[in-house]
Structure 1
Amino acid sequence: MRVAVPRETAPGERRVALVPETVSKLRDAGFEIRVERGAGAAAGFLDESYTAAGADLVDADALLDGVAGVVRVAKPSQKESEALAPGTVLIGFLQPLTDAEGISRLRERGVVAFAMESIPRITRAQAMDALSSQATVSGYKAVLLAADRVPKLFPMLMTAAGTIAPVRALVIGAGVAGLQAIATARRLGAVVSGFDVRPAVQEQVESLGAAFLDLGVRAEETAGGYATELTPAQQEQQQAALAERIPDFDVVITTAAVPGRRAPKLIPASAVKRMRPGSVIVDLAAETGGNCELTVPGEVVERGGVSIVGTTNLPSLMAYHASQLYSRNVAALLQHLAPNGELALDWEDEITAGACVTRPKEASA
């Protein structure tokens, strides 16, 4: 199976779908990899390293000639979609729940598209779980962004001039990103608390050395690992309880998100108003509207002396390792779809059927 790796064109996207390390392993597994010149440069992977790994380097106009598959990070533009031949296997973050037009375009082209967001959350598919790998990067980077902006030292320091109290940090949401944020903040020396409406994650939060913040709001966990939606009354209770507790913290990192929906509003403007000047909120849900009422997606704003970081696509800010992790996810999916480099789509398989968002008509019968 010949697979193409294009250079990403989405604004601000620095990642690459396959890194040289993975290209070498895929070549050994029977794949032929074609890489657009400069595809990995923004992530720190030079063309020479791809050549050394066994990839064929080509210019953009020759990239898709005779390829059976295309792997990328971000969804293709309209022009990129129209360049794909019918029957091409496409793998990437395709936003199937929010970009109906883009998915329809791929379907009309006859592209067999697999969305990395749609990989089933089952044990057998863990190596393909790109949402988790990239959330790990986001949780780590969120803490660094907070540490850079808060005018305080994270750890407690005992000096000749006296003792400096540590930063108090609150992480809202104990999914993959939240747990990584907790672990990173703890490593930097902060006193950390974690909050989640799922009681089952309390043990995970505490195992990382953080206190579990119990606000009396409970929700069950779905099969996909997400919290069930709260009732309007529960949402009001949660907002009120958080508004009471948030002023106690110097740093707040929010990670609550529901796939395909707007992010739940957890921090009202009134709560931000009560925070101490110099405090920082890093909103990892900014891309879908934000967990804070005052978040501006893609921007860092200041309200009453409180910095609210709405920076989106945090994994792209750590492009080298984010690409490395994503590349391994993509390679695992490729090898699942094409054992020994031979495409063999099994529509009875839970992973193949679950991840495909533009299944061919003959396979749907």
Structure 2
Amino acid sequence: MKIGVPAETKPGETRVAATPETVKKLAGAHDVVVQSGAGLAASVTDDAYVAAGARIGSAAEALGAELVLKVRAPVAEELALMQPGAALVGMLDPFDAEGMGALARRGLSAFALEAAPRITRAQSMDVLSSQANIAGYKAVMMAANAYQRFMPMLMTAAGTVKAARVLVMGVGVAGLQAIATAKRLGAVIEASDVRPPVKEQVESLGAKFIDVPFLTDEEREIAQGTGGYARPMPADWMRRQAELVHERARLADIVVTTALIPGRKAPTLIGEETVRAMKPGSVIVDMAIAQGGNCPLTEYGKTVVRHGVTIIGEPNLAALVAADASALYARNVLDFLKLVIDKDGRLAIDREDEIVRAVLVAQGGDVLRAA
């Protein structure tokens, strides 16, 4: 089978869907074509792909393959180069109804890896976790770079420097990595999340968990989340959380917000009033900006200063660590391919497999997953 690895074309996207490590495992049984320059932004040269057994070709050749491996969903110009009946694997944004329709109209069998179920067997294919892990790390590094003081406590001949206070809001994979990274840098950390089970994880990393008490059974039930994700909480609980967050953010030097709800606008966690109350020189990294942001003052793709607070709105943090992000993503893709390529090296889509069924968003001209 011919497998194509095109260069990503979306602005700011530096990752690549296959690395020499994964190409080497595919090239023995398949004709792997990598677009010239596809890995350069991730520090992978064409020569490295050739040494792993791939051929270097044009965008048309890579996109015209029977199986196309991408990071992001193809744009219209890329879709025009793809063959009806081909298979596409990538992070395709299954909540984008228009995008799903375009894939279906092209006649593709499209697999959106971010739709994989949160089950043990799918962990090695979990692109959201692998990329969020990197993003959580990079968020804290960017915050440390923007913060005009030290992160750890230092005792010097000129006096003692206090440790930075970091508040992490949303304790999924990204939030946990943000906590771990801030801890390594010597900060004092607090964390908040609607899901009570994460308290133990937060405390195991050396952070203090901010508890918002549940007053009703409904609040407790909703707080359990669905499939590892948070659900929208009742208005009264959100009000109580906002009051507590306001107080903790006012004392914080760095706030990292990660709260996302799949298919919905990101919830507002840090309002303008809270930003006004924060200390001059404080930093907010809004990791949810791709879905509207957790702070209304965040600007997409920009770093701005509002009321003396630096607010970072980088929408694709994982792409800023392109080499490792690509390496992890490519391994996720390789593990998924084991489910859809048979022992003879042919594409074999088993819709009875719960992982395949969950990520297959278009096939035979039909959209299989409603936004």
| TM-score scaled by length of structure 1 | 0.96
State the 1:216 CA deviation.
Answer: 2.5
Q: For residue 346 of structure 2, what is the aligned residue in structure 1?
A: 342
Equivalent residues of 2:101, 2:367 under 8 A apart: no
How far is 1:342 from its partner? Answer: 2.2
Q: Is 2:168 the partner of 1:171?
A: yes
TM-aligned CA deviation for residue 361 of structure 1: 6.5
| Alignment partner, residue 15 of structure 1 | 15
| Equivalent runs, 1:92-103 vs 2, <5 Å | 92-97=90-95, 99-103=96-100
Structure 1 residues 24-35: aligned runs within 5 Å = 24-28=24-28, 30-35=29-34
Q: 2:269 aligns with which of 246, 266, 283?
A: 266
- Aligned-residue offset at 1:61: 3.2
- Which of residues 198, 202, 211 in structure 1 aligns to 2:199? 202
CA distance in 2, matches of 1:112, 1:92: 11
Counterpart Cα distance in 2 of 1:228 and 1:138: 22
Determine the C-alpha separation between the residues in 2 that align with 1:281 and 1:63: 40
- 1:286 alignment partner in structure 2: 289
> Partner amino acid for 2:32?
I
In structure 2, relative to structure 1, the CA distance for the partners of 1:349 and 1:148 (3 Å cut) is same
Deviates more, 1:274-283 or 1:78-87: 78-87
Q: Is the 8 A contact 2:289 2:300 kept in 1?
A: yes
Select which of 179, 183, 186 maps to 1:186.
183
Contact 1:78–1:102 (CA under 8 A) maintained in structure 2: no
Q: Does 1:319 align with 2:322?
A: yes
| 2:110 aligned with 1:113 | yes
Counterpart of 1:57 in structure 2 is 56
**1:221 shift after superposition:** 2.6
Q: Specify the SS of the correspondent of 1:171.
A: strand
Q: Secondary structure at the match of 1:270?
A: helix
Match of 2:212 in 1: 215
Gaps of 5+ in 2: 215-219
- Give SS of 1:199's match: coil
CA distance in 2, matches of 1:303, 1:222: 33
Q: Alignment RMSD, CA only?
A: 1.6
User: Partner residue of 1:70?
Assistant: 68
Q: Distance in 1 between matches of 2:36 and 2:60?
A: 11
- Secondary structure of the corresponding residue to residue 113 of structure 1: strand
Q: In structure 1, which of residues 152, 155, 161 is the aligned counterpart of residue 152 of structure 2?
A: 155
Deviation at 1:296, TM superposition (A): 1.1
- The C-alpha deviation readout for 1:234-256, integer Å capped at 9, x for no partner, is 22222122112211110000000
Letter in 2 for 1:129: D
Identity of aligned residues (%): 50
In terms of mean alpha carbon deviation, does 319-328 or 296-305 score higher? 296-305
- Whole-angstrom CA distance in 2 between matches of 1:230 and 1:293: 19
Which of 218, 226, 229 is 1:226 aligned to? 229
Of the three residues 87, 90, 93, the one matched with 1:89 is: 87
- State the aligned residue count: 361
Counterpart-to-counterpart distance in 2, 1:177 and 1:312: 14
Deviations 1:79-129, CA, capped at 9 Å, x for gaps: 2112211111101111110x2112111101110000021111111111110
**Cα drift, residue 363 of structure 1:** 12
Using the alignment, how far apart are the partners of 1:161 and 1:363 within structure 2? 65
Q: Secondary structure at the match of 2:256?
A: strand
Give the aligned partner of residue 237 of structure 1.
240
AA of the residue aligned to 1:180? Q
Alignment partners' CA distance in 1, 2:182 and 2:130:
18
Query: 1:277 matched to which residue of 2?
Result: 280
Deviations 1:125-144 (A, max 9, x none): 11110000000010000000
Looking at structure 2, the residues matched to 194 and 306 of structure 1 have their Cα atoms a distance apart, in angstroms, of: 20
Question: Using the alignment, how far apart are the partners of 1:14 and 1:330 within structure 2?
Answer: 17
What's the CA shift string for 1:323-344, capped at 9, x where partnerless?
0000001111112111333211
Would you say 1:45 and 2:48 are equivalent positions?
A: no
Matching residue within 292, 299, 302 for 2:302: 299
Point out where structure 1 has 5 or more consecutive residues left out of the alignment: none
Q: Distance in 1 between matches of 2:16 and 2:7?
A: 7
Hey, what's the Cα distance between the residues in 1 that align with 2:302 and 2:367?
44
Pairwise CA distance, 1:155: 0.6
TM-score (norm 2): 0.94
Give the counterpart of 2:259 among 256, 260, 264: 256
Amino acid at match of 2:208: A
2:155 aligned counterpart, secondary structure: strand
Q: Secondary structure at the match of 1:63?
A: helix
Task: Mark the CA change 1:64 to 1:246 in structure 2 (over 3 Å): closer, same or farther.
Answer: closer
CA contact 1:257–1:264 (8 Å) conserved in 2: yes
CA contact (8 A) 1:40 1:47 kept: yes
- C-alpha separation in 2, matches of 1:36 and 1:153: 43
Q: CA 1:134/1:308 → structure 2, altered by over 3 Å: closer, same or farther?
A: same
